[in-house]
Structure 1
Amino acid sequence: MEQARTVAADFLAAWSAGDYAEAAALTDDPAGTETLLADAAGWVGVPGPDAVLDDIEPTGTQQDAATALAGLTWSPPAAPEWAYPLPMTLTRGEPDGPWRITSGASLVHPELAAGQSILVSRTLPPRASILDADGRPLFAETPVVTVGVDPGLVTDLPSLAATLADVLDVDAAAITADVQATPAGQFVPVITLRRSEYDAVRDQVYDLPGTVFQEATRQLAPSSLFARAVLGRVGPVTEEIVAESEGLLQPGDEGGLSGLQRAYQAQLSGTPGVTVSTALDGVAVTTLQETSGTPGTPVRTTLSTAVQDAADAAVATVTQPSFIVAVRPSTGEVLAVASNTAATPGNALTGQYPAGSTFKIVTAAAALQAGLVSPQTVLPCPATNNVDGREFENADRFVLGDVPFTTAFARSCNSTFTALGAQLDPTALTEAAAQFGIGSQWDLPVDVVTGSVATPDSAVRQAEDSIGQGDVLVSPFAVAMMAATVVAGAPPVPVLVTDADPAGQAPVGPPADVVEALRGLTRAVVTDGTATPLADLPGQVAGKTGTAEFGSGDPPPAHAWFAGYRGDLAFAVLVEGGQSSTTTAVPMADAFLSALPL
């Protein structure tokens, strides 16, 4: 029996290793068995099972037959393990002849008959939704249409690709390459559109030679713009996502591709139900194992549908890339993250932009803490200020003369602030920025970058930093948190998912008397300064405008900012290339706040 045991063990070891020829050579039908084992690998989706020889017993009176009992465990992709006992028959023709395993379909599974295969079927449970702060689903099954191309139906590929690119805003070169690489009769997807979006362009693409269409449903947010930097999207998973799913996903599955949909993929998707069966011509015959799936569970966010809708409508009022990020200062809850169609959505959270004059909130805090000023201190506001040969000028070279610091802040006097900035200690602005959360690293389920303020190496650089130019970089998220600090007295720890672990430790905010002074300064911006169009809104609106120059030109291009708050709502508005904050960012803030009840 030792020789028979060795043959059985060697067969199982070779099969487990995917060496079908070596395993098949130990059977009475090497060619047929090699094909069978290779087919089994294709049926189950892995090279072979983990196999253990449990026992072997003689069954013939002449020591010419034996039965081995093995334990097999398969690990199909994205499915539970499938384990079962496998009896194997061994025989030898002569007393001293070699032992051989009897081949046949039952060598894969005792219930597998000749001509049958193994069928592994996965049934994905309905995907759970992401919820808003009130517990309402933000995603729902939505009709979609995928516009595609059948290479066999194309009569003029360059013309087709150019038309689709123009109508659907896709890459003509990518369409051409994909179609050329795909056999006739196969579907080459170009873009998936909501049914309403497809209906709007249907007449321009439906009759093009080569276009074909697939209808389906997909979990989508209320609109294609709704908090897209945060929520993410669902679609066919990539190889990277399959790998990081630890066996829960396989190619062809739909899953979270970005944002919270990806971060909470396992929770939202649940686990699939899996049935392993014998099959004939692809139709299940006998169930060998059945595992019930588990439904996904919702993820509740802090997003407010009302605030998000207001932000989405506001950013849609301009053609330049624009963002609004809104938070609740008392709790750190992120209420809205909005971007318009021209914007790169993620830049709302991770984009790095010069802060411009919104950073004067930080500079004012540093100057107040250094004892250089109080809100009532009278300071000169000339048209320009020279720092070590570098001339800084006010917008349109306005002149205020000698005015209280509150007025210089409200009117955004660069000459006053560069003079103050040059008097600060080299580390003062970096330290003050940290009191507003700039430079903080937060562990949220989506990436956020607050920004940085480098320690200046010269008085000129420090003067530049004091008006948010130089080495001051921030994201819209960071500016919203800066505004929240003025309300709350310290940067709140941001929260995006209600039951998530804390995102980090809150930095120490500015001293209480400094915060109180900043509240008066920022209110003056609205009542008597650069944001007076907001003065007639209900509630006490406060904030700071900012025009952040970048690049070169005459005048140089500039981003338009507004960092604002009203009650327990703090927010940042950014219009890329908006030039004047008073004419672009402030009206956007007006539209945003006007759409929200107090």
Structure 2
Amino acid sequence: MRSRELVSRSRTTRRVTAVGGAAVVLLVPVLAGCSSDPTDDVRAAAQAFLDDWSGGDTAAAADRTTDPAATTALLEQTATDLPEASLTAELGDVQVAEDGAATVDWQATWDLATAPDWAYGAALELQEGEDGWQVVAEPTVVHPELAEGQHLELTRTLPDRAPITDGTGAPLFTETEVVNVGVDPAQVTDLPALAAGLAAATGVSAEQITADVQAAPAGQFVPVITLRRPDFEAIRAQVFDLPGAVFPTGSRLLAPTARFGQALLGRVGEATAEVLEETVGEDGEQLYAAGDRLGLSGLQRARQEQLTGTPGFTVSVASTDESLEDAGRVLDTVDPVPGTPVQTPLLPAVQNAADAAVATQPLATHLVVVRPGTGELLAVSSNEAANPANALSGQFPPGSSMKTMTATALLSAGALTPDTAVPCPGTTVVEGREFENEDQFDLGTVPFTEAFAQSCNTTFIQQAMQLPDDALAAAAASYGVGTDWQLPVGVFSGEVPTTSTGTTKAADAIGQGQVLMSPAQLALVAAGIASGTPAAPVEVVGADAAGAAPAGPGQAVLDQLRPMMRQVVLSGTASELADRGEVYGKTGTAEFGTNTPPDSHGWFMGYQLGGPQGDLAFAVLVEAGQSSSAAVAVTDAFLGAL
């Protein structure tokens, strides 16, 4: 218990890192100077000892004890036992005996850096000598239950990682057997041949393998790649007999497949320096340590603390003499606190269908599926050729899929109706620049619905040039385009300029110019059209809303736009989907780059009503697909796999 005298005095606090990584923070009573009261002298001696220890001056602290050499070894051992720890020491009661001995009670609170604090009561024994009071050198200086030949042993533990679950609450990540393909340098007989063989089987460059092996210390395992057991079995015959190749097994927390929802879910692995740097507590303390398995990307990283939980620890007695009976005796234990699950709206049946569909395309391909009316992301898929981040945060010109928003602006302005006769010439000129339809097709004068279904660029440019300069941006914003979504894993919400004029405005109307979109945002636009109630995107069930729900263009506009999108499938540029149920959509071909003729991305965005998985909205992007037909084919495969 804290003494009445100590409570009545003012204190200061000091924290300094000590030699070996341990530190002491003292709540120091302000002493008025020398006192005839031996209690004050004893307290000052104890304070001086802890001051020196806290300041990293182990030698000075040891010199204040009855055995400097033994104390030096003890304090240095404690710094090793509790690496990177710091100590807060609060002095308590002082008892002075008539025989020149004294005891100072104190409360020890160790900040264990990457584990919860460890607190216990302790006492310093002091003796009065010719040079004043000295701390008695004994292991109890560190902990009251330590004896000669003993020191502390700290074992830190993380709880099992909390699951990320699907829309039904079922965990998506499970412990999965993996094979660590690598090299034992001591067994290598022909490094170039080994590197070439491993490279051919794994896709890791032979140059990188060679460099890693040459740089590795003697006797160290050199990792090449970690594979799920089925993936390793597929290459076993190529690598198993290569001299120097070794294959230790292990387990990792993995999603059902390597690509399953990767952009959203992310992955778990050994903590990187970057991840450790960002996972700090409110007062800047490090929460996790090198070697911990943490989220490296996606929701696994964005919801790190929620999923990882709080580490626990055990402090036990270690001994240099294994014959001591109480070696291994536990001094204190704090159990790790498990994290809490994160539920996503992903549906495995939809995600698997999306993954199977994008796998049919050799070019980089993405497919994002959204639930109309809720904004829930049901699938986020990218194939092996793609950067999975582009499904959510990629910035691409949307091409003619933008015509859903241009048509929204035209219908909202009352400039025309789906039945209005409009010209669709092969080319049109704006401020001296010629714009054309694909292969300069010319429909003559047709209903606006047909111009939409056949994706007539010239019609949309001519009509859009009559709109106010901000009309396209306003129409897009009614579906959420341009919103700063507040999400754990970022979604690029698109850009449609508000001030474009002339040729830029003409290009914007057909999804070129300065218009940019992500597959996720285009799927959200399709969902807003399908439901009539555009919604903010949802990545985590029960989380705060990512933003205000978009206003939508109004029911009257949507009642006109939807039949136009249905006609795209029934008789227009996506007629390959006519037998896939009640499907609505819009194709898009978006030019990019400097090649002549230019390369093009292929798009399809739309929705299906009353399908096997309920109403679904989606967007497909085939990077450099050259035409929308590639995206329509992926959509067809997706709907067929549901």
* TM range, smaller chain: over 0.9
CA positional deviation for 1:179: 3.5
C-alpha distance after superposition, 1:146-166 (max 9, x if no partner):
123334444454554444344
1:101-500 to structure 2, matched below 5 A, reads 101-243=135-277, 244-246=279-281, 247-280=286-319, 285-500=328-543
Q: 2:124 aligns with which of 88, 93, 102?
A: 88
Per the alignment, do residues 92 and 175 of structure 1 end up closer, same or farther by CA in structure 2, a change over 3 Å counting? farther
Counterpart in the other structure of 2:58: 20
Q: Distance in 1 between matches of 2:436 and 2:555?
A: 32
Larger mean Cα displacement after TM superposition, 161-170 or 68-77 = 161-170
Which residue of structure 1 lines up, in the alignment, with residue 17 of structure 2?
none
**SS in structure 2 of the partner of residue 201 of structure 1:** helix
1:575 maps to what in 2? 622
Q: Alpha-carbon deviation of 1:414?
A: 0.8
- Give the counterpart letter for 1:445 in structure 2: P
Amino acid at match of 2:154: V
Structure 2 letter corresponding to 1:589: T
**Kept after mapping to 2: 8 A contact 1:16/1:51:** no
The one-character-per-residue Cα deviations of 1:305-348 (angstroms, maximum 9, x if unpaired) are: 11111100000001000010000112111110000000001110
CA distance in 2, matches of 1:86, 1:518: 77
* Percent identity between the two aligned chains: 53
TM-score, length of structure 2 as denominator length: 0.88
Distance in 1 between the 2:74 and 2:183 partners? 37
Mapped contact 2:184–2:220 kept (Cα < 8 A): yes
Answer whether contact 1:12 1:52 (CA < 8 A) is retained: no
Q: Which amino acid aligns with 1:438?
A: V
- DSSP-derived class of the 1:504 partner: coil
Distance 1:48 1:360, change over 3 A: closer
1-structure distance, mates of 2:207, 2:110: 43
CA distance in 1, matches of 2:443, 2:522: 27
Look up the equivalent residue of 1:453 and give its one-letter code: V
Q: What's the CA shift string for 1:65-88, capped at 9, x where partnerless?
A: 322222111121332211112222
Q: Which residue of 1 aligns with 2:77?
A: 39
Q: Is the 8 A contact 2:271 2:296 kept in 1?
A: yes
CA shift at 1:206, angstroms?
Answer: 3.1
Q: Distance in 1 between matches of 2:265 and 2:501?
A: 43
- Structure 2 CA distance for aligned equivalents of residues 594 and 304 of structure 1: 16
- The secondary structure found in structure 2 opposite 1:10 is helix
Task: Quickly say closer, same or farther: Cα 1:8–1:257, change in 2 above 3 A.
Answer: same
Secondary structure in structure 2 of the residue aligned to 1:143: strand
Q: Where does the alignment leave 5 or more consecutive residues of structure 1 unmatched? A: none
Asked if the contact 1:16–1:50 (Cα under 8 Å) also holds between the matched residues in 2, the reply is no
Map Cα deviations across residues 420-452 of structure 1 (whole Å, 9 max, x no partner). 222221111111111121111211221111111
Give me the whole-angstrom Cα distance separating, in 2, the residues matched to 1:162 and 1:31. Answer: 57
CA contact (8 A) 2:85 2:113 kept: no
Distance 2:400 2:633 in 1: 17
RMSD value, Cα: 2.0
CA shift, 1:533, in A, is 0.8
Instruction: Please give the secondary structure, in 2, of the residue aligned with 1:463.
Output: helix
Residue 88 and residue 436 in structure 1: after superposition, are their counterparts in 2 closer, same or farther (change >3 A)?
Answer: same
Structure 1 residues 354-363 or 552-561, which shifts more?
A: 552-561
Partners of 2:509 and 2:292 in 1: how far apart?
52
SS in 1 for 2:495: strand
What is the deviation of 1:456? 4.3
CA distance in 2, matches of 1:173, 1:299: 41
Contact 1:435 1:510 in 2 (8 A): yes
Q: Is the aligned partner of 1:585 residue 2:631?
A: yes
> Residue type matched to 1:329 in 2?
P
Gaps of 5+ in 2: 1-37, 610-614
1:170 Cα shift?
2.6
Q: Is contact 2:86–2:112 with CA below 8 Å preserved after alignment?
A: no
Letter paired with 1:320: L
Distance 1:293 1:282 in 2: 30
Over 3 Å counting, the alpha-carbon distance change for 1:160 and 1:245 in structure 2 is: farther
Mean Cα displacement is larger for which, 143-152 or 558-567? 143-152
Q: Distance in 2 between matches of 1:59 and 1:203?
A: 80
Aligned-partner Cα distance in 1 for 2:148–2:186: 38
Q: Normalized against structure 1, the TM-score is what?
A: 0.94
Q: Is the Cα contact below 8 Å between 1:16 and 1:47 reproduced in 2? A: no
- What is the alpha-carbon distance in structure 2 between the residues aligned to residue 554 and residue 85 of structure 1? 79
Question: Match for residue 30 of structure 2?
Answer: none
Report the alpha carbon displacement of residue 542 of structure 1 after superposing the two structures with TM. 0.6
